[in-house]
Amino acid sequence: MGDALESGRLVVDDQPDLERLRITEVFHSLQGEAREVGWPTTFIRLTGCPLRCTYCDTTYSFFGGAWRTIDDLVAEATANGARHVCVTGGEPLAQKRCLILLKKLCDAGFKVSLKHPGHSISLRSMPACRGWSI
């Protein structure tokens, strides 16, 4: 369940009990898109994407990255101080544990947005939490 897809290659998590994700970067900035534009935001960019959109501007997220525990990511978002968190990629839902991250961020009181390419998504699989958007 904790595996990640990097540039079409499956990277198996060799420590599956740690509840972690393959992460390209975490950074703090102002949101530049959608209705949250202008809000101080922590961006969590997950590694990997099975798609190859011709207009992609984040090809660097297709591979590399580092394993981070989900609790560590929530702690970093808390330390950053922004109440908004944007989970992005890559295709963040290519890693199934992204759903755990979304749930824990919501439970910690963040307003959470998910940047998703929209190719396929089951809302029934999404965590039930208030204050988040796709």
52 binds ligand SF4 (CB under 6 A): yes
Distance, in Å, from the CA atom of 87 to the CA atom of 127, rounded to the nearest integer, reads 14
66 binds ligand SF4 (CB under 6 A): no
What track of x and - describes contact with ligand SF4 for positions 104 through 133 (by CB under 6 A)?
-------------x----------------
134 binds ligand SF4 (CB under 6 A): no
Distance, in Å, from the CA atom of 109 to the CA atom of 91, rounded to the nearest integer, reads 24
CB 97 within 8 A of CB 125: no
Measured from the CB atom, the residue of 42 and 61 that comes closer to ligand SF4 is 61
CB 42 within 8 A of CB 84: yes
64 binds ligand SF4 (CB under 6 A): no
* Phi/psi at 120 (5° precision): -165, 130
Site for ligand SF4 in 74-103 (CB under 6 A): 89-91
Distance, in Å, from the CA atom of 9 to the CA atom of 63, rounded to the nearest integer, reads 9
CB 101 within 8 A of CB 70: yes
Q: Which of 30, 34, 37, 53 binds ligand SF4 (CB under 6 A)?
A: 53
Q: Count interface residues toward ligand SF4 (CB under 6 A).
A: 11
Interface contacts to ligand SF4, rule CB under 6 A: 49, 51-53, 56, 58, 61, 89-91, 117
